[in-house]
Chain A
Amino acid sequence: MIRQSAADMAQALAKKEVSAEELTKAHFERISTVDSKVKAFLHLDTEGAINAAKDVDQRRSRGENLPTLAGVPLALKDVMTQKGIPTTCGSKILEGWRPPYDSTVVTNLKRNGVVILGKTNMDEFAMGSSTENSAFHPTHNPWDLTRIPGGSGGGSSAAISAFEAPLAIGTDTGGSIRQPAAVTGTVGVKPTYGGVSRYGLVAFSSSLDQAGPCARTVLDAALLHEAIAGHDPKDSTSINAPVPKVVEAAKRADVKGLKIGVIKELQGEGYQKGVLDRFQESLEILSSLGAEIVEVSCPSFDYALAAYYLIAPSECSSNLARFDAMRYGMRTGEGSAEEVMNQTREAGFGKEVKRRIILGTYALSSGYYDAYYGSAQKVRTLIKDDFARSFDKAEILVSPTAPTTAFKIGEKSNDPLAMYLNDIATIPVNLAGVCAMSLPSGLATEDSLPAGFQIMAPAMADDRLYNAGAALERELLAKWGKPLLEMAPELL
């Protein structure tokens, strides 16, 4: 039951072949079996989830017309507020905090009858590419428990991959949904900036953050996308336009005549051979379906990483200033308010967070603003322009999602720059505000670990992602004969 897609679960529920309560309990059982090894969850809301499931069952038995996903379980990245439920953002400084309000994403999920099982592990305040920066513990990749599940949303993707939940919510600031999806063999989407409300999404980098769907199939991701997206008057940066018809696009899955642009700068040196091979094969598949492959060049992408590691820390240095031990969260230390503030922030924030706060404070300081933050914002314009020019030549752009497959836990944790390089292909998307999806392209031959195929589309054209993604997924499934996740050596 737990190995089904969310779409199939939804159908079974609708046909009353299974109850929401049974489905939810089955998932909690799965979690209790495997999560001691995977460690995807930080908190399980057993009572709340079962009550929500029972409520769905009651309404269904009364003959109510329920939304498609009603009764389907979901794992929520611990960066989204859920009223009364511990929300830590993977940090000690928020350990034990129970928000007095729901994020709009959660409100939308509840309205759709989705059952939230619990909160998933993440790099502290979404800063990282491996989930090793969680203040609590790392999460382990279900494909190989000695390896990272990606980050910052490693918990969500690992949970999907380990069948602990069919759906999950992640957030993506520089690749934090897509890169974990790539290394766990699952699907992850960063919607167009403004497509999903950020109200209740604890901010890391406000002009880059976006919540999005994680799932095992493209159609599942589309169903979740439609459930959470839409205008929110509580978020001034949210788009006031109808949600793109992504479910319809996922069902259409037709790339005949589609112009696909391969970004020259996002391949070659630094990319693992197996990753590149799978990428090439996927391109060939799309080509065989009638798509036209062209090469595009985005020279400013060479500066994307640098711009990102100025903009994101700058915004986060300001966003994280509110954690000062005065109104909520951890309070430690003695003396004056200032001393308590300083000591709490020292004890409550981890290494990477402190590093970025200091970097951001520097980049914004008077005298340095123009050279650093100011320049990075200009590079952003160049990146937007490169995307715009490329989207004139092609309807979607593609690249490998991440340069390598999952590395070992501990391998890169002492080398910040090496860690940052994991996001080299995903970051440009966030800087421009456009949308992108990662879906599995297969296993890299060297290590039999999953590699991801990234599809990018212009702002508000999220449907193009799902159309092309579903087409590729269908062909790959046919090629493999079975879902990729069934090829995992120890997927428990």
Chain B
Amino acid sequence: MAISYDEVITKYDPVLGLEVHVELGTASKMFCGCATVFGAEPNTQVCPVCLGLPGSLPVVNGKAIEYTIAIGLALNCSIAPFSRFARKNYFYPDMPKNFQTSQYDEPICVNGYLDLEVETEDGVKEFRVEIERVHMEEDTGKSLHVGGATGRIHGADYSLLDYNRAGIPLVEIVTKTIEGTGKYAPLVAKAYVKELRDILRGLGVSDVKMEQGSLRCDANVSLRPVGEKKLGIRSETKNVNSLRSVERAVRAEMIRHAGILGKGERVKQETRHFHENTGETTPGRSKEQAEDYRYFPEPDLVPVAPSKEWIEEIRSRLPERPSDRRKRLQDAWAVPDKEMAAMVNADVLDLVEESVKLGADPTKARGWWLGEIARIANEREVPASELSISPKDVAKIVELVGKGELTDKLARQVVEGVINGEGSPQDVIEARGFKVVSDDGALLAAIEKAIAAQPDVAEKVRNGHIPAAGALIGAVMKETKGQADASKVRSLLLKTLGQSE
């Protein structure tokens, strides 16, 4: 009998730890000059250094240091006056040197925090997530497993290795234990990763696409009985490839742990793999003992000691924080909190801002993105940003409606048409022959027709019964195939029947 989330929350207090890896968007790799662009032919972006050939030596990419410092500053960290690279020693075929050049006890950024505003069923809650450290390391090569059923490693006959991604700069951001989130734990985790992603995107240090792996999240979850101080045993979940998965994975692990603890058993400390399709986690290969990485300072690299001037210079170039930006936009557009949160939650804030920059009225732009477009996005289970409609399109549509060339009803159809790939708003309008009938002559003709068809209704209106006009307006709209401006029809009709608003 599966335990419900509500039961879990009554009995247990969740503790989280989130590790996020970011691929930096530098032109060259962390320790050599090989290109970092995606999609090249295998093993064409490798050199003696990133292939780990005997005799090769690493040289640090200065831009990667700059980006890492920027990330640390954006996360309110202290920048270490002296930090070192270290070797993390373990064997795996995708690691050319069989050690990873990383950082160990002297990372470049420490002790930061990130403030979150999490939208919950009980309103917007504030949480502060403390950051333990931010450090630099290098990515591994990629393996293709051949011969097995699903292309996964188990049961494969052999593997093919491509080292193009070996040596790509990675930044690892590690939180301190996140406590006190209670039932909101899954939401807090998701909000953390999202806010982090937005900050990183704003800094321009990475394209942060979770689905492509340039932003990766490992979620550590443990439970302890409510009121208990001692931490429970944690599991680490990998392969969390979207924001939605972060929330689902945390939730799934909380329920799973509770199930085990409820039976009086111990949770296994292990690494687990999240599955998108089932929403469950499965265990990775269990190891007999924890691997001893035998960390020691990297002798081929010298320490990093960024000057105060350099740090301040990077700080001065930091862009506006997402939370500050949101406050600024909220004030500028005079948006209520709930709507602001809705825009952030639906991930359309950038799109609305862009539309406004292109001339759209903020309220109208918001209306479209949060309304029709968000509805379609939800239906198709994709983010709004992936639909084929752009802020430019929305700005155009808002403009046309404003000018009276489109009615709201027509505009909705245009939006749908653009999303379905029929082209720009103009293309859709032309293709479907949308034209707002605003020509008085044409309208009057339709009005006459409607009056003639319903003389008794028309009489009612003439006698002052204004609401009755609705039936006539409806008839006119039908006659014009919905392409008439309803309010114009109304005023013309009333005028014709000797009435005014």
Contacts and interface: CB of A to CB of B under 8 A. Distances in A.
**A and B, direct touch (CB closer than 8 Å):** yes
B301 A321 contact: no
Nearest to B89: A318
B59 A236 contact: yes
A103 to B, nearest CB: 6
Interface in A338-380: 338, 341, 361, 364-366, 369, 373
B48 interface: yes
Given A236-B60, A236-B301, A322-B97, A80 B55 contact: yes
Contact of A233 (B48, B59, B294, B300): B59
Nearest to A200: B55
Interface in B350-371: none
Which of B54, B57, B60, B294 is most buried by chain A, counting CB atoms within 10 A of its CB? B54
Interface in B31-81: 48, 51-60
Contacts of A97: 54
A321 B99 contact: yes
B89 A101 contact: no
A337 interface: yes
Given A322-B96, A337-B159, A203 B89 contact: no
A455 B164 CA distance: 47
Contacts of B55: 80-81, 99, 103, 198-203
A322 B99 CA distance: 8
A100 interface: yes
A209 B433 CA distance: 79
Q: At the interface, is chain A mostly helix, strand, loop or mixed? A: loop
B57 A234 contact: yes
Given A236-B301, A318-B87, A326-B93, A373 B57 contact: no
A321 B294 contact: no
A327 interface: yes
B93 A324 contact: yes
A202 B52 CA distance: 11
A99 B53 contact: yes
B58 A236 contact: yes
A171 B259 CA distance: 62
B5 interface: no
A97 B300 CA distance: 24
A321 B93 contact: no
Contact of B300 (A237, A322, A326): A237
B292 interface: yes
A318 B299 CA distance: 11
Given A236-B58, A314-B296, A364 B89 contact: yes
B294 A364 contact: yes
B91 interface: yes
Interface in A75-104: 80-81, 87, 89, 94, 97, 99-101, 103
A361 B299 CA distance: 16
Given A100-B48, A318-B87, A366-B294, A202 B54 contact: yes
If over half of B's interface residues share one DSSP class (helix, strand or loop), that class is named, otherwise mixed; here it is loop
Contacts of A318: 87, 89, 99, 294, 296
Nearest to A345: B91
Q: Which of B93, B99, B159 neighbours the largest number of chain A CB atoms within 10 Å of its CB?
A: B93
A302 interface: no
B98 A236 contact: no
A207 interface: yes
A315 interface: yes
A314 B157 CA distance: 35
B302 A361 contact: no
A303 interface: no
Contacts of B97: 321-322
A322 B96 CA distance: 6
B57 A341 contact: no
A235 B57 contact: yes
B161 interface: yes
B300 A236 contact: yes
Given A198-B57, A236-B300, A237-B300, A322 B52 contact: yes
Interface residues of A, number: 44
Contacts of A365: 292, 294
Nearest to B31: A236
Contacts, number: 99
Nearest to A197: B57
A87 B56 CA distance: 14
Contacts of B300: 203, 206, 236-237
Interface string B90-115: 01010011110000000000000000
B296 A373 contact: yes
Interface in A308-322: 314-315, 317-318, 321-322
Contacts of B51: 327
Interface in A364-411: 364-366, 369, 373
A274 to B, nearest CB: 38
A207 B56 CA distance: 14
Contact of B57 (A94, A99, A199): A199
Nearest to B87: A318
Nearest to A337: B93
A354 to B, nearest CB: 16
A314 B297 CA distance: 11
A324 B98 contact: yes
Contacts of B48: 99-101
Contacts of A234: 57, 59
Contacts of B93: 324, 326, 337
A328 B57 CA distance: 17
B499 to A, nearest CB: 87
Interface in A203-218: 203, 205-207
B407 to A, nearest CB: 66
A318 B293 CA distance: 11
A100 B52 CA distance: 12
Contacts of B53: 81, 99-101, 328
Interface in A263-314: 314
Interface string A393-436: 00000000000000000000000000000000000000000000
Contact of A361 (B54, B294, B295): B294
B216 to A, nearest CB: 24
A366 B89 CA distance: 12
Interface string A135-163: 00000000000000000000000000000
A317 B56 CA distance: 16
A431 B365 CA distance: 68
Contact of A321 (B58, B60, B91, B295): B91
Nearest to B48: A101
Interface string A248-268: 000000000000000000000
A253 B335 CA distance: 85
Nearest to A209: B299
Nearest to B56: A199
Contact of B54 (A89, A314, A315, A317): A89
Contacts of A202: 54-55
Contacts of B89: 317-318, 321, 364
Contacts of A201: 55
Contacts of B58: 236
B98 A322 contact: yes
Nearest to B296: A364
Contacts of A369: 294, 296
20 contacts: A81-B53, A100-B53, A199-B57, A200-B56, A202-B54, A203-B300, A206-B300, A207-B299, A234-B59, A236-B301, A237-B300, A237-B302, A317-B89, A317-B294, A318-B294, A326-B93, A326-B161, A327-B51, A361-B294, A365-B292
Which 8 A-B residue pairs are closest in the complex by CB-CB distance? A321-B98, A206-B299, A364-B294, A207-B299, A202-B54, A200-B55, A202-B55, A81-B55
Interface of A: 80-81, 87, 89, 94, 97, 99-101, 103, 198-203, 205-207, 233-237, 314-315, 317-318, 321-324, 326-328, 337-338, 341, 361, 364-366, 369, 373
Interface of B: 48, 51-60, 87, 89, 91, 93, 96-99, 159, 161, 292, 294-296, 299-302
Given A99-B48, A322-B54, 4 more contacts: A203-B300, A315-B296, A324-B93, A361-B294
